[in-house]
Structure 1
Amino acid sequence: MAMSIIYLDNNATTRVHPQVVEAIQPWIYERFGNPSSSHSLGQQAKEALIQARAEVAKFLTASPAEIIFTSGATESNHMAIYSALAMYPERNTIVTSQVEHPSTLQLLEYLSEQGVNVVYIPVNTKGELDMQALKTAIDANTALVSLMHANNETGVLFPIAEVAALTHRFGALFHTDAAQTAGKLALNVKALDCDMLSFSGHKLHAPKGVGVLFMRKNMTAKPMFYGHQERKRRGGTENLTGIIGIGVACRVAQTQLNEVAHNISALRDRLQAGILKQLPYAKVNGEGHKVPNTTNLSFLGISGEELLYKLDKVGIIASQGSACVAGGTDPSHVLLAMGLSRDEALSSVRFSLSEETTEAEIETAIECIVAVVKEITHSAALVA
């Protein structure tokens, strides 16, 4: 009999929603036309593409023409950054934070080598953005300010609307990576005042391999792939099943957003409190205002990697941080930027819930996590 799994790694990826699975199946087996084809199957596919675009636009309070479908948040982030540089060739500065997702940081590292001036804004010990440093960094040479909406490791939110307003005072563009807030918080691009916004389908119960870049009308996209699709902004045959899936996922998320956020927040708080009560030497990383589903804890004196391995053996699935760098031996750049020591960072584990997480699972998870931590601590004491 298979061991039951308690999945607490939803910031890495989510299970595809049953309504999404049901919606995309006919487009795999029966209505498999290319949206660019003029025959009936192609026109059916084109209509489905139009409908999905409308669903995503509604989810963001945008217009359908402002939605570009991509392969995921990484491509969307890259397209946003390259587009800003192309639109403002006379400006040479990009402002970002020290705790961005690797998909942004690694591109900016490359661009820095090509002569772009990249300014990295620090965070405090709570994971909050240093607003004074940001205000000093933005100037008339800034082409783009690009910040994540919520940190993928700690869940800490950045004040996006405030930063966007500051950015626009200097005539620069503002982009936010909303991969960790899509489906967890309301995303209104007008209220956020962003010029560009990225997110990925697989973080909100859509399939992997599809993402979105919102780009405000009257902006010019710099394509990563050339072709006629997506109004010549993103070439290549559209991933129709993924696009239909992300449209349905956005619709489902929109209908249950407030209730889900409240329920997940209560469960996250219960998980966190239950662990801290029994393991007083554990510590919360990132105590700023954050998304409802995420907590990151340091278990001082033990290896986070060993803890995750042993939790996996008893059916508790979690991670140490970004799925794009997980499995390495380096400590989290996010936690180091927050002032944690190398040992503290390496002892840390992220738990991220979804609307599928139940109260019973949380109680079991608390019991297992506490037991495994005590087992590791006891074994280490015997060896010492």
Structure 2
Amino acid sequence: MIYLDSTATTVVLKEVADEVYKYLTKDYGNPSSSHKLGIEANKLVEKAREVLLKSLKLENTHLCVFTSGGSEGNTQVLKGVAKLFPDKSIVIGGIEHNSIRTAATDLLIEGKNIKTIEVEKDGKIDIEKLLNLIDKDTKLVSIMKVNNETGIIFNIEEIAKKVKEKNPSCLFHTDFVQGFMKIKADLKHIDFVTISAHKIFAPKGVGALFVKKGINLPSLIAGSQEYGLRGGTHNVAGIAGLKKSVEILKDKVDENFEKTLNLRKAFKDTLANNLEDFEIFEPVDFSPYILGLFAKGIESEVIVRMLSEKGVFISAGSACSAKDKVKSKTILALGLNPDEYLRISLNPVVNSEEDVKTGAKTIADTIKEYRELFIS
């Protein structure tokens, strides 16, 4: 098996799984309980909070609120700000994660003022065009750091600075799910940051929303937990897994980034030696962890299924919308053909160079097989 779909989800590392198992079977107390088992569970939750905040250098500026994942955090920010400021406007990026787009659509149906800044054909956001959408009534701008379908990296640090220069009261949110523990970013001036555990070799069903101190945000789930920002019994085992994964990865961000660049080169070189009529989507600023491949004449979903039968796993786009049979809004927004798009994920934690070369050769052979069957 060659797994090249870590952008969709990742395997849980053994060290992480061992930690999760411990908090499922031994230290399984409810952090809200006052007895010893509960106190120990609460200590774990608070230590995890500290580890996550320090990993992003946000310990002095933000609260860490544990959630079920990136989609919940994204939704809470958009709908929470809209609830607090019903007469204000919100601006979102044109190729945001489906959870942001869906939340924005819900708010539009409710009559809220939602604006979209479309990306340019090269994947960049024209800051001047964005600033033209912002006025004194704009309360939130939400732009992701790394696009989950293409790997485009947005300079949110510069974008947020310009936004706040024009409207100092405007809040800024970034979806950092595909950047967390993969690329470095200066997030201390970003008001809301969302992450997810299952993208970094920890369990599904847990994530975090970092909220700048002093900002009020309504909860989606009522309860006293998480500063009143997110109710419900803590997923202690999941939080323990997330903590362990961050401890494993936090000092290897630069090292793994370089390793991934090398894997990307190995993939591209192998593909070039075995396939014609293809193009690698490579914007000016990109995450090496996500590689977009366009192959002329193919139907990407068919290629994904053919590869699956051969034990090679990739994606035709976002896992959150792959089963909806809807053409990728992200790829369309870039003026490209989503039917011919394949997303390959590379990660040195689980992919060797040999894996990547074998995967690239198999992908090339499968595309040639498809063309012979359906195009020749």
TM-score range, shorter chain: over 0.9
The SS at the match of 1:203 is coil
Instruction: Report how far residue 41 of structure 1 moved.
Output: 0.6
Cα distance in 2 for partners of 1:331, 1:225 equals 32
Letter in 1 for 2:354: A
Cα distance in 2 for partners of 1:349, 1:381 equals 18
2:291/2:345 contact within 8 Å kept = yes
- Structure 1 counterpart of 2:178: 180
Task: Please say if 1:241 is aligned against 2:241.
Answer: no
Cα distance in 2 for partners of 1:71, 1:368 equals 36
Cα distance in 2 for partners of 1:204, 1:122 equals 29
- 1:45-66 deviations in whole A, cap 9, x for unaligned? 0111111111111111112861
Instruction: Report how far residue 286 of structure 1 moved.
Output: 4.3
- Structure 2 counterpart of 1:354: 347
Instruction: Report how far residue 132 of structure 1 moved.
Output: 2.6
Cα distance in 1 for partners of 2:275, 2:265 equals 15
Cα distance in 2 for partners of 1:244, 1:45 equals 9
2:297/2:375 contact within 8 Å kept = no
The SS at the match of 2:342 is strand
Cα distance in 2 for partners of 1:338, 1:286 equals 12
Cα distance in 1 for partners of 2:164, 2:37 equals 45
TM-score after normalising by structure 1: 0.93
- 1:262-308 deviations in whole A, cap 9, x for unaligned? 00121013212322343231112342311121111111111111111
Task: Please say if 1:147 is aligned against 2:140.
Answer: no
Equivalent runs, 1:1-384 vs 2, <5 Å: 5-63=1-59, 66-91=63-88, 93-169=89-165, 170=167, 171-190=169-188, 193-340=189-336, 344-355=337-348, 356-382=350-376
The SS at the match of 1:69 is strand
Letter in 1 for 2:344: F
TM-score after normalising by structure 2: 0.95
The gaps in structure 1 that reach 5 residues or longer are none
The SS at the match of 1:153 is coil
% of aligned pairs identical? Answer: 33
Cα distance in 1 for partners of 2:201, 2:346 equals 12
Cα distance in 2 for partners of 1:335, 1:273 equals 24
Letter in 1 for 2:31: P
Cα distance in 2 for partners of 1:224, 1:289 equals 34
- 1:102-146 deviations in whole A, cap 9, x for unaligned? 100011011011111111111122222232321211111111000
Cα distance in 2 for partners of 1:277, 1:86 equals 55
Cα distance in 1 for partners of 2:10, 2:105 equals 29
Cα distance in 1 for partners of 2:375, 2:187 equals 53
Cα distance in 1 for partners of 2:273, 2:135 equals 47
1:153/1:322 contact within 8 Å kept = yes
1:125/1:286 contact within 8 Å kept = no
CA shift in 2, pair 1:271/1:123, >3 Å? same
After TM superposition, the structure 1 stretch with the greater mean CA deviation from structure 2, 289-298 or 81-90, is: 81-90
2:316/2:341 contact within 8 Å kept = yes
The SS at the match of 1:66 is strand
1:59/1:187 contact within 8 Å kept = no
Cα distance in 1 for partners of 2:310, 2:20 equals 34
Q: Which runs of 4+ in 1 moved over 6 A?
A: none
Aligned residues: 372
The SS at the match of 1:189 is coil
The SS at the match of 2:284 is coil
Cα distance in 2 for partners of 1:111, 1:89 equals 10
Letter in 2 for 1:357: N
1:145/1:172 contact within 8 Å kept = yes
The SS at the match of 2:209 is strand
The gaps in structure 2 that reach 5 residues or longer are none
Cα distance in 2 for partners of 1:178, 1:276 equals 32
